[in-house]
A and B are shown apart, each in its own frame.
Chain A
Amino acid sequence: MSGLTRSDIDDILKLIDSSDFDELKLEMGELKLELRRRGSSPAPAPSAPEAPAPKAAEPVAVAAPVLVSGGGSEVPAPLLGTFYHAPKPGDPPFVKVGDTVTKDTVIGIIEVMKLMNSVTAGADGVVTEILAPNGELVEHGQALIRIQPA
């Protein structure tokens, strides 16, 4: 099903660049692509496997400049349920804005019928925003937090 190559995506990005649209959602079977333009920033050069190595040292500081690359990615709720920021009431939250996360970092839990399901970030990066409120229903696919990919 996923018939999109990297160069296809580059072509799509170019098309958006030359258009007036700020956002594009594309669904082809299993594949889902969401692109969003941040501000008036140009060339959203896809940030991919190139810059992983020496990031961990300077987490918070990076957040602002990296914005230029156009992206913040949202961590979607993998299932419907009640979203909790912390392991139990009164505990500090799993993550807060500015925290560095890896793809395996637990960012919250979703309760469905007294069953707790931990949610992981799914990508390496820095938390830029907590979107879903604590203790409220999140639907499947709803954005929970936003992270700036490393």
Chain B
Amino acid sequence: MAKIKRIFIANRGEIAVRIIRTCRELGIETVLGVSEANRDTLGAQLATRVVCLGPAAATQSYLKVGTVIEAAMGTGCDAIHPGYGFLSENKDLAEACAETDLIFIGPSPDNLTAVGDKLTARTHDEKAGVPLTPGGSVDTEAEALKLAEAVGFPLLIKAVSGGGGRGMKRVNSAAELPAQLNLAISEAAAAFGDGRVYLERFVTVGRHVEVQILSDGETVLHTGERDCSVQRRYQKVVEEAPAPGLPDTLRQGLLDAAVTYARHISYRSLGTVEFLVDVERQEFYFLEMNARIQVEHPVTEAITGLDLIALQIAIAEGKPLGMRQNDITLHGHAIECRLNAEDIQSDFMPSPGRIKQAWFPSLTGVRVDTHMQPGAMISPFYDSMIAKLITWGPTRADAIARMQAVLNLHTLDGVTTNAPLHSAIMADETFQQGGVDTTYLTGVLPRLTEDKT
């Protein structure tokens, strides 16, 4: 067991500030690696020391493994916290840490390989006995028709070599299948030089529910689930915990499956197992595992009272978790709104600029994770998230009411933010009822944005 004394933070923005906060509580020194564009940020002002990694472009600063390692060693750090994004799930960084006696605050290189790409992750998932989206590979029409019977319609034909939405065909009935299959095979062969395809159930009404995992390598615990179904173009916009209106058997199934999966790959650190909940069939399927702290971790902290960053550091030090599943109890409801510098009236165009005033009132049950302050520059080099508003309440309605209050009261002058979108969501009846699916936001966007014009 190694007590960590000085942590190199290889990240920026609000998560750098968030990590510094816990380090201060634990009496750990921090060295923040910044790009030229981030020298004057709040994180840089709060860290014990700052070093400049390189130019503003992330590929020349935050994403350079060798530079990060060199900077961490040169400043006498004993550990690296990668935050989220950037190098957070980079196996090269984890391996380089191991070679240089730096502690990587995250899982082992082997764990990262296990969850690294979707196919490997799915193989582990199958072996662990955790449900996957029903489907399988097919070569002939007869095979396809037989499998389709088990999978059900609608289904997707996917190219094995496709990805990112390319090489997919939706099939609504058995009658359509033969023609679509032949088309898919010849298209896949032409587009990817690989005619192999597989069938997969198409989930028409799905919710994105994920389970937070804590593991010291021996004990694997969950800290409940989060619902992240309010998304736009696969980007999460609002998250909450617990998932509203999820039947108990389904919830327990998810939690158990996540723990089983983490245990199966001998996961050690903090991580998140993501699932797609098929609302019509009341089933759930494994999507992927994220081997890092997540943006939306504060909603879990709000309902459990845990400091997930502190636990992540403790696990990295080799400390046992020192608790059991029964020690983790959930209280009330928490919601997070991601405030982005973007203009919802202009197709969510990013709105970089300088913040003139930043003020978030300290209301009961409100937490704000941000690096904004008067004078802060929102540069065009990085993502547009500038603050996370997190509210807690004894009930979901209370948490929503508090979110509405902080959305109304806060000030962020100088840039355009998506706060009006969040206000509209919080005031929307469908959202207030709870349990919306992943198509919800796209469906209501026209209505939510037209009110303002």
Q: A112-B66, A115-B66 are in contact. Are A142 and B52 (CB under 8 A)?
A: yes
Query: Does B61 touch A at the CB level, under 8 Å?
Result: yes
A residues contacting B by CB (< 8 A) are 79-82, 111-113, 115, 136-137, 139-142
Q: Judging by beta carbons under 8 Å apart, are B69 and A140 in contact?
A: no
- Which residues from chain A contact B55 at a C-beta distance below 8 Å? 140
- Which residues from chain B contact A115 at a C-beta distance below 8 Å? 66
How many angstroms from the CA of A81 to the CA of B52 in the assembled complex?
Answer: 10
23 pairs, A vs B, C-beta closer than 8 Å: A80-B54, A80-B70, A81-B67, A81-B70, A81-B74, A82-B70, A82-B74, A111-B70, A112-B70, A113-B65, A113-B66, A113-B70, A136-B74, A137-B51, A137-B71, A137-B73, A137-B74, A139-B52, A139-B71, A140-B52, A140-B61, A141-B36, A141-B52
Distance from A55 Cβ to chain B, minimum over Cβ atoms (Å): 33
Number of A-B residue pairs at CB separation under 8 A: 44
- Which residues from chain B contact A112 at a C-beta distance below 8 Å? 66-67, 70
How many angstroms from the CA of A112 to the CA of B69 in the assembled complex?
Answer: 9
Distance from A116 Cβ to chain B, minimum over Cβ atoms (Å): 12
Question: Which residues 38-75 of B have a CB within 8 angstroms of A?
Answer: 51-55, 61, 65-67, 69-71, 73-75
Known: A82-B74, A137-B75, A139-B51. 10 other contacts (CB 8 A): A79-B67, A80-B54, A81-B67, A81-B70, A113-B70, A113-B96, A137-B73, A140-B53, A141-B36, A141-B52
Distance from A110 Cβ to chain B, minimum over Cβ atoms (Å): 9
Distance from B53 Cβ to chain A, minimum over Cβ atoms (Å): 6
- Which residues from chain A contact B53 at a C-beta distance below 8 Å? 80, 139-140
Q: Judging by beta carbons under 8 Å apart, are A80 and B36 in contact?
A: no
- Which residues from chain B contact A82 at a C-beta distance below 8 Å? 70, 74
Distance from B112 Cβ to chain A, minimum over Cβ atoms (Å): 19
The chain B residue with its CB closest to the CB of A142 is B52
Q: A79-B54, A80-B53 are in contact. Are A140 and B66 (CB under 8 A)?
A: no
Q: Judging by beta carbons under 8 Å apart, are B69 and A113 in contact?
A: yes
- Which residues from chain A contact B54 at a C-beta distance below 8 Å? 79-80, 140
- Which residues from chain B contact A142 at a C-beta distance below 8 Å? 52
The chain A residue with its CB closest to the CB of B68 is A80
The chain B residue with its CB closest to the CB of A141 is B52
Question: Which residues 178-209 of B have a CB within 8 angstroms of A?
Answer: none
- Which residues from chain A contact B71 at a C-beta distance below 8 Å? 80, 137, 139
How many angstroms from the CA of A115 to the CA of B70 in the assembled complex?
Answer: 11
Q: Which 3 A-B pairs give the minimum distances between C-beta atoms?
A: A137-B74, A113-B66, A139-B52
Q: Judging by beta carbons under 8 Å apart, are A80 and B69 in contact?
A: no
How many angstroms from the CA of A140 to the CA of B70 in the assembled complex?
Answer: 12
How many angstroms from the CA of A142 to the CA of B75 in the assembled complex?
Answer: 15
How many angstroms from the CA of A113 to the CA of B64 in the assembled complex?
Answer: 11
Distance from A101 Cβ to chain B, minimum over Cβ atoms (Å): 24
Distance from B353 Cβ to chain A, minimum over Cβ atoms (Å): 14
- Which residues from chain B contact A139 at a C-beta distance below 8 Å? 51-53, 71
How many angstroms from the CA of A82 to the CA of B73 in the assembled complex?
Answer: 10
Q: Judging by beta carbons under 8 Å apart, are A80 and B96 in contact?
A: no
How many angstroms from the CA of A112 to the CA of B36 in the assembled complex?
Answer: 18
Distance from B288 Cβ to chain A, minimum over Cβ atoms (Å): 30
How many angstroms from the CA of A111 to the CA of B70 in the assembled complex?
Answer: 9
Q: Judging by beta carbons under 8 Å apart, are B52 and A80 in contact?
A: yes
Distance from B75 Cβ to chain A, minimum over Cβ atoms (Å): 6
Proximity string of chain B (315-338) to chain A, C-beta cutoff 8 Å, 1 when within and 0 when not: 000000000000000000000000
How many angstroms from the CA of A74 to the CA of B66 in the assembled complex?
Answer: 25
Q: A139-B51, A141-B36, A142-B52 are in contact. Are A80 and B75 (CB under 8 A)?
A: no
Distance from B107 Cβ to chain A, minimum over Cβ atoms (Å): 22
The chain A residue with its CB closest to the CB of B66 is A113
The chain B residue with its CB closest to the CB of A79 is B54
How many angstroms from the CA of A81 to the CA of B73 in the assembled complex?
Answer: 10
Distance from B369 Cβ to chain A, minimum over Cβ atoms (Å): 27
